[in-house]
Amino acid sequence: MHQMTILTGPERRRRWSAEDRCRILQAAFSPGAVVSDVARQYDVCTTLIYKWRQQARARAEPVAFASVVMADKPSPPARTMAARAPVITVDLGNKGRVSIDAAASSALVTATLRALRV
């Protein structure tokens, strides 16, 4: 059986509140979610969901990078290097690789992963 929705009155477009948009975007882009399934669930066009995501990204604060100062330190002995093997490695293809070891602070790990997400 087919479903038909009849819109009457002068207003034919639905208005989505900012909270509704955020809830739909969060559901659509959560890990394992399929955008088309979420769009069907909320009766929204998939292109509208992608448009909302693009608008949300445009409103977000731009990512800025700080300059790095390298200090001359003696290289640690080989034993210490093996103990400090990277725990997280993100391969960026032709652009390089980022490795984070277990001794990194949680603030450094968070900042690094946020910068890579964009």
pLDDT, tens digit, 9 for 90 and up, residues 47-94: 999 999 999 888 877 766 766 666 666 656 555 555 556 677 877 777
> Would you say residue 48 lies in a domain?
yes
Mean pLDDT of the region 25-35: 92
Q: What is the pLDDT of residue 74?
A: 62
Domain range enclosing 83: 78-117
> Would you say residue 1 lies in a domain?
no
Is the separation of the CB atoms in 24 and 38 below 8 Å? yes
The residue type of 105 is S
* Number of structural domains in the chain: 2
Beta bridge partners of 109: none
> Would you say residue 37 lies in a domain?
yes
The neighbour count for residue 90, using CB atoms within 10 Å, is 13
* Tokens of residue 70, six digits: 């390298």
> Would you say residue 10 lies in a domain?
no
Domain match, 24 and 51 both: yes
Q: What is the pLDDT of residue 28?
A: 93
> Would you say residue 5 lies in a domain?
no
Is the separation of the CB atoms in 89 and 98 below 8 Å? yes
| Mean pLDDT for the chain overall | 79
